[in-house]
């Protein structure tokens, strides 16, 4: 490691209180000072510290070991003593200037002050951008709860190796819940983050950015831009989980008989390897080429979003599978009054029971990643197989196509923008609703503009200082903030997909990672052979109805009995009063594997809704929230038990 370099302030004018020569003398003199903290154990050297750290990396992180040992040095580094005696680091930047990565006075105090600006005590997930010598990293990790997951991004292998020479990094390297990415590009980092966020269980995500690292490496800006997009989606989904927690628990329990008997989406995995799939969504571009899909019938697995089922059937096209994910009863409108024979429903277990009814037994259910149920019945859901790296029907269908082994996967109606100035294809329930409001003064254009006005738009043309958003044909278009978030998500998923992905929408802005071609060409090139899809489907559905419901009913009764004990304690506390210790015990019942874990989102929802009603009485609010959630769960556990006996 090189120890030469310029003073971090060379070439710059300094204040009159300290000349350049005086500052140089101060830094040189400080190098002879013994460090006050952290002190190395007797006999420990820089090289032995590095060797110990590298051995830890080799044992537990083979990928990182290869990266650190194979990446040549490219930066000129200068390690020196700060006034406090702590090591600090200067890096020669591409412009030739030397940049201090930590204070030349007291790096530890600087790190503590920086980390204190972020509330880490309740963090569930911590993202650290820029490692430096690790002062802020180690300080942050001391402050987060033990169960907090940590994700660390460092652009330079040189800088990380320098840190390994200075500090014992076992707190970083040896913890399995800490992910470290060094010298990686955006396409390695973001999928790993996305994998962590699949379950959307992290309510409290904190980000610590090391400012000098962000200054040194402009690529961190792209990381942060994409990170903010993904975190926005995560936050939307966390709020969704909380808001719909009652509805999802209700539907999961009422659907349990179908869950027990369903063959599950897992039964479809690898059943169509090497066969083409066409994933149909309800973007405006669907109008242009919907009739072409008839030519693909029987020669490709056609998967349709629930929103586009109605226009497909109106054009005489029956998809093999239709995906549904929304737990709200309004989802039923996509299916009401339609001939659904030969169409299979693929959905998550939280769907409204009335949505499943029209499909009879032609249902393949998947366990939703957001789904948190009692461990004693979770096995029934887990055996279905899991779908859903996101919360849209398009992503659900994309997951299924990949799991089935389809190749290529052809996108139709996947616009991610207001193609032709509209949000949806004609004939969908959304477009039909808009038609009902048309009048002399309300046109489709004005209704669309009203819809856009209610959304947060990004890169909208006509706004000063913003470049127009161009579609795949170079035409100006618009997209909502939500569309942009899901486009980012989709781009990341496509990069992780081995199968060829083709965008045959012929409009919109999905171009990254896909082959763009007209739909007629995609069908001509890839949809040539007949596929007996119905035979495969029938063989899987024939295995339904053999599982017994009695065992499941017995487990529900046991869960209900446990919750009734909790409810009895809550009633006693409500009458006689509760201490902080009592509340701590109740909160403990919400931890992983405990009886109240499943109802924790309902508790959170109740507390957010009623936190101002009790004048700041936190104990009373906790009791009332848990009482409400326990009563809610007990009610639907009873109903589910009854369904098992019918």
Quick: pLDDT tens for 375-400: 889 888 888 988 765 567 788 899 99
In a shared domain, residues 81 and 199: yes
Beta-carbon contacts of 66 under 8 Å, excluding residues fewer than 6 positions away, are none
Per the CB < 8 A criterion, the answer to whether 363 and 383 are in contact is no
Q: With the C-alpha atoms ordered 358, 359, 360, 366, is the resulting torsion angle positive or negative?
A: negative
pTM of the model: 0.67
Residue 260 lies in a domain: yes
Check whether 463 has a pLDDT greater than 60.
no
Q: In which residue are the tokens 């200068």 written?
A: 78
Decide the pairing of beta strands 321-324 and 479-480: unpaired
Decide the pairing of beta strands 98-100 and 87-92: antiparallel
Which residues, in sequence order, are bridge partners of residue 364? 346
For the chain, percent of residues with pLDDT exceeding 90: 41
> What local confidence, expressed as pLDDT, does residue 4 receive?
40
More confident residue, 119 or 278: 278
| pLDDT class of 219 with cuts at 50, 70, 90 | confident
In a shared domain, residues 282 and 167: no
| C-alpha angle 84-87-92 in degrees, rounded to nearest 5 | 125
Phi and psi based region of residue 167 (left: phi greater than 0; alpha: psi -120 to 50; beta: remaining) = beta
The arithmetic mean of pLDDT across residues 235-239, rounded, is 70
In a shared domain, residues 457 and 605: no
In a shared domain, residues 259 and 219: no
C-alpha–C-alpha distance, residues 265 and 385, integer Å: 6
Residue 508 lies in a domain: yes
Of 90-104, 318-332, 373-387, 436-450, minimum mean pLDDT range: 436-450
Of 29-33, 84-88, 111-115, minimum mean pLDDT range: 29-33
In a shared domain, residues 224 and 84: yes
Cis before residue 408, ω within 30 degrees of 0? yes
For the chain, percent of residues with pLDDT exceeding 70: 81
C-alpha–C-alpha distance, residues 559 and 596, integer Å: 10
> What local confidence, expressed as pLDDT, does residue 488 receive?
75
| C-alpha angle 356-301-306 in degrees, rounded to nearest 5 | 35
In a shared domain, residues 227 and 304: no
> What local confidence, expressed as pLDDT, does residue 211 receive?
94
The parent domain of residue 383 ranges over 249-541
Using only C-alpha atoms, the chain has a radius of gyration, in whole angstroms, of: 29
Which residues, in sequence order, are bridge partners of residue 207? 127
In a shared domain, residues 75 and 158: yes
Query: 600-610 and 245-254 helices cross at what angle (nearest 10)?
Result: 150
> What local confidence, expressed as pLDDT, does residue 444 receive?
38
Domain count, the chain: 3
Per the CB < 8 A criterion, the answer to whether 28 and 119 are in contact is no
Q: In which residue are the tokens 């899991």 written?
A: 386
In a shared domain, residues 72 and 158: yes
Per the CB < 8 A criterion, the answer to whether 140 and 115 are in contact is yes
Residue 14 lies in a domain: no
C-alpha–C-alpha distance, residues 105 and 286, integer Å: 63
């Amino acid at each position: 490691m090189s120890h030469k370099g310029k003073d971090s302030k060379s070439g710059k004018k300094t204040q009159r209180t300290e000349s350049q020569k005086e500052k140089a003398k101060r830094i040189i003199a400080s190098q002879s000072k013994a460090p006050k903290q952290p002190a190395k154990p007797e006999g420990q050297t820089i090289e032995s510290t590095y060797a110990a750290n590298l051995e830890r990396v080799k044992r537990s992180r083979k990928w990182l070991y290869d990266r650190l040992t194979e990446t040549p040095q490219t930066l000129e580094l200068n390690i020196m003593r700060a006034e406090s005696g702590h090591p600090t680091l200067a890096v020669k930047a591409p412009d030739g200037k030397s940049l201090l990565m930590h204070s030349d006075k007291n790096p530890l105090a600087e790190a503590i002050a920086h980390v204190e600006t972020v509330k880490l005590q309740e963090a569930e997930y911590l993202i650290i951008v820029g490692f430096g010598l690790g002062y802020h990293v180690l300080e942050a990790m001391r402050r987060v709860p033990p169960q907090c997951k940590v994700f660390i991004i460092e652009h330079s292998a040189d800088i990380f190796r320098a840190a390994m020479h200075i500090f014992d990094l076992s707190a970083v390297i040896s913890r399995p819940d800490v992910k470290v990415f060094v010298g990686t590009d955006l396409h390695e980092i973001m999928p790993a983050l996305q994998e962590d966020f699949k379950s959307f269980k992290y309510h409290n995500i904190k980000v610590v950015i090391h400012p000098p690292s962000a200054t040194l490496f402009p690529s961190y800006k792209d990381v942060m831009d994409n990170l903010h997009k993904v975190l926005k989606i995560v936050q939307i989904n966390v709020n969704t989980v909380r808001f719909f927690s009652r509805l999802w628990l209700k539907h999961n329990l009422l659907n349990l008989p179908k869950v027990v008997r369903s063959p599950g989406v897992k039964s479809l995995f690898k059943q169509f390897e090497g066969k083409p799939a066409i994933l149909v969504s309800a973007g405006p571009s669907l109008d242009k080429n919907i009739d072409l899909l008839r030519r693909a019938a029987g020669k490709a697995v056609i998967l349709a979003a629930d929103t586009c089922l109605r226009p497909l059937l109106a054009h005489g096209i029956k998809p093999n599978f239709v995906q549904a994910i929304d737990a709200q009863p309004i989802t039923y409108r996509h299916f009401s009054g339609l001939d659904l024979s030969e169409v299979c429903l693929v959905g998550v277990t939280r769907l409204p029971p009335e949505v499943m009814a029209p499909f009879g037994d032609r249902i393949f259910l998947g366990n939703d990643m957001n789904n948190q149920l009692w461990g004693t019945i979770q096995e029934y859901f887990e055996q279905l197989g899991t779908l859903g790296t996101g919360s849209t029907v398009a992503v659900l269908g994309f997951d299924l196509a990949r799991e089935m082994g389809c190749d290529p996967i052809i996108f139709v109606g996947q616009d991610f923008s207001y193609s032709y100035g509209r949000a949806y294809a004609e004939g969908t329930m959304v477009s039909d609703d808009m038609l009902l409001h048309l009048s002399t003064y309300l046109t489709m254009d004005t209704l669309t503009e009203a819809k856009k006005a209610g959304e947060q738009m990004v890169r909208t043309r006509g706004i000063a200082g913003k470049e127009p958003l161009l579609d795949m044909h170079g035409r100006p278009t618009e997209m909502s903030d939500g569309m942009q978030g899901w486009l980012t998500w989709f781009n990341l998923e496509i990069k992780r997909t081995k199968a060829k992905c083709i965008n045959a929408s012929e409009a919109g802005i999905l171009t990254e990672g896909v082959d763009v071609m007209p739909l007629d060409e995609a069908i001509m090139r890839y949809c040539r052979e007949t596929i007996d899809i119905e035979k495969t489907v029938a063989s899987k559905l024939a295995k339904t109805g053999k599982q017994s419901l009695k065992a499941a009913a017995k487990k529900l009764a046991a869960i209900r009995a446990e919750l009734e004990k909790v409810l009895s304690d809550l009633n006693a506390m409500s009458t006689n009063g509760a201490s902080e210790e009592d509340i701590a015990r109740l909160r403990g019942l919400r931890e992983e594997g405990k009886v109240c874990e499943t109802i924790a989102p309902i508790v959170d929802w109740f507390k957010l809704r009623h936190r101002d009603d009790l004048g700041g009485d936190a104990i009373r609010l906790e009791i009332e929230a848990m009482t409400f959630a326990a009563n809610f769960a007990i009610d639907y556990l009873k109903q589910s038990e009854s369904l098992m006996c019918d």
